[in-house]
Structure 1
């Protein structure tokens, strides 16, 4: 297993319109932008070997690449902006501005998971930055009806909590429902033989999110969620070589959608679907399974 404890991460505070974005830089070599999920922050991969997406180093070795991670504007990190981005394009614009501020415009690759996959596609389409290749994990060109329905219910939980004078509880339940949608039925059965333990698990995840910051937790459902629902991109706009990865048990971004997306890409380099007991969260939990495919994609010439 690749270990990176000898490497130090450098934090950059980049001015953007109406605020500042925080980015981390780790490693040496060609730049690879790594964009995580909706609730992720820039501590995805760390020099202390304790990042929440640390398994990704098996594919993106910081001894070989300079890894750039971001605290999303309006997300769960230190970035602060007056105007929280209402769309994926606005989030991508903040990140693009910050990277250009640092003089980083030539990238070996952008790798995005879930929400970060959509931001990666938007950055690739925008072309203000030059990405040699694109890899998306658990993300496609449009949302499914099921994903939109689930996020609508999450927002309704937040509204009902407000109406009942219990905003924390409403947001906690919204996050619990989100956690349920991220996991597979088989996986929850396997890991929680006592179903009440499964209930306690998703409740605890919701509580942790609320305790971190209620205003920012609300934004995940009231702002980031609608941005996911409204996102559409024409696959033919993604001209870079593009790798697509997904999971058979993902109920938010199912294999059928990923295959349809890949078929429409001008330069698709494979749509790989992996078995997972974790559903959509396979992008975090199953790095050991897909890392060899991603590593090969990053290391092979794209011409």
Structure 2
């Protein structure tokens, strides 16, 4: 893991942060023959894209470091190596603030353009914002299971999780359990957590929720959970840009937008809207048992759609 220190910064909310230290990873080396692939990660992920998006990134996968220079930066507000000092204990960090840090890092690395910018969920929000903010910088764009403005439904789920965070010692575990209900769906749990034998207690679904909560508690912090869920709520590409449609029309990158048929948190209507309003965009839909989490798990289907859409990935 590498670190980039940057100057003081005033967040979109007006709060000043200082001693900003961005953690990032580069997979592969910089070479004139290699295209730059930049990945924006989702809420509880980190800069190790070969770990959390394995199947799409890594050896023998579509994006591998032998062929591409792959960069992933830990986002502002995350607990995986990125840090800062703030006038407020838990400042509101917008998606635009995150993108400003990405751009500063890209400038520091002397990157003149990004050949492929990718992101899912919260990562997709960043990728869209960056493509609007600096359209000439992004050549090809891929987003999945994301939106142009976070919905009242999504904000309500996030608020329920933040309420859980304040509930005591097991707050983050309860928050994660709530989140899982939005990441998966009825069919997911019915297929993977169904009890065959007759029971009165100790159901598989209950054990699964507790296990996932305990697992997150060991690797994440309440503070980052709170800040990043708030960041997701700020997503609105149209803020101070006349309209969302006007903002999306600024994107110049050749774009692939994928929706997941069973996604409850980011329904496919949101991805159809993106593709409709981005000039050079194509919309695809995939079927998945895993709902929103399909963007992490259906890597074989995603890889095929990427290769079919982007000529540069076929060679």
TM-based fold match above 0.5: yes
- Match among 276, 281, 292 for residue 293 of structure 2: 281
- Match among 124, 135, 143 for residue 142 of structure 2: 135
- Match among 216, 226, 244 for residue 230 of structure 2: 226
**Structure 1 ranges of 4+ moved more than 6 A:** none
Cα contact 2:135–2:250 (8 A) shared by 1:
no
1:12 to partner: Cα distance: 2.5
- CA, structure 1 residues 138+154, in 2 after alignment: closer, same or farther (shift >3 Å)? same
Following superposition of structure 1 onto structure 2, how do residues 34-73 of structure 1 map, counting pairs within 5 Å?
34-45=39-50, 51-57=51-57, 58-73=61-76
Equivalent residue number for residue 191 of structure 2 = 190
Supply the distance in 2 between the matched residues of 1:82 and 1:26 (Cα, whole angstroms): 29
Equivalent residue number for residue 292 of structure 1 = 304
Gaps of 5+ in 1: 1-10, 46-50
Q: Which segment drifts farther, 32-41 or 202-211?
A: 202-211
Cα contact 1:85–1:91 (8 A) shared by 2:
no
Matched length: 276
- Which structure's residues are more often helix, by fraction? 1
Q: Is 1:75 matched with 2:78?
A: yes
1:38 to partner: Cα distance: 0.6
- CA, structure 1 residues 207+173, in 2 after alignment: closer, same or farther (shift >3 Å)? same
Supply the distance in 2 between the matched residues of 1:151 and 1:250 (Cα, whole angstroms): 16
Supply the distance in 1 between the matched residues of 2:44 and 2:310 (Cα, whole angstroms): 26
1:297 to partner: Cα distance: 3.2
Cα deviations by residue, 1:170-227 (Å, 9 ceiling, x for unpaired): 22101111122101210111011128212222222222222224xx33322x222222
Equivalent residue number for residue 124 of structure 1 = 131
Pair member with larger Rg: 2
Equivalent residue number for residue 112 of structure 1 = 119
Gaps of 5+ in 2: 8-18, 196-201, 238-243
Cα contact 1:117–1:136 (8 A) shared by 2:
yes
Question: Secondary structure in 1 aligned to 2:81?
Answer: coil
Equivalent residue number for residue 33 of structure 1 = 38
Supply the distance in 2 between the matched residues of 1:247 and 1:132 (Cα, whole angstroms): 24
Supply the distance in 2 between the matched residues of 1:202 and 1:266 (Cα, whole angstroms): 42
1:128 to partner: Cα distance: 8.0
1:59 to partner: Cα distance: 2.9
- Match among 255, 258, 261 for residue 242 of structure 1: 255
Supply the distance in 1 between the matched residues of 2:5 and 2:298 (Cα, whole angstroms): 35
Cα deviations by residue, 1:40-92 (Å, 9 ceiling, x for unpaired): 001121xxxxx121111333232221111122222141111224661000111
Q: Which segment drifts farther, 194-203 or 109-118?
A: 194-203
How big is the alpha-carbon RMSD for the aligned residues of Structure 1 and Structure 2? Answer: 1.9
Cα contact 2:188–2:290 (8 A) shared by 1:
yes
1:229 to partner: Cα distance: 1.7
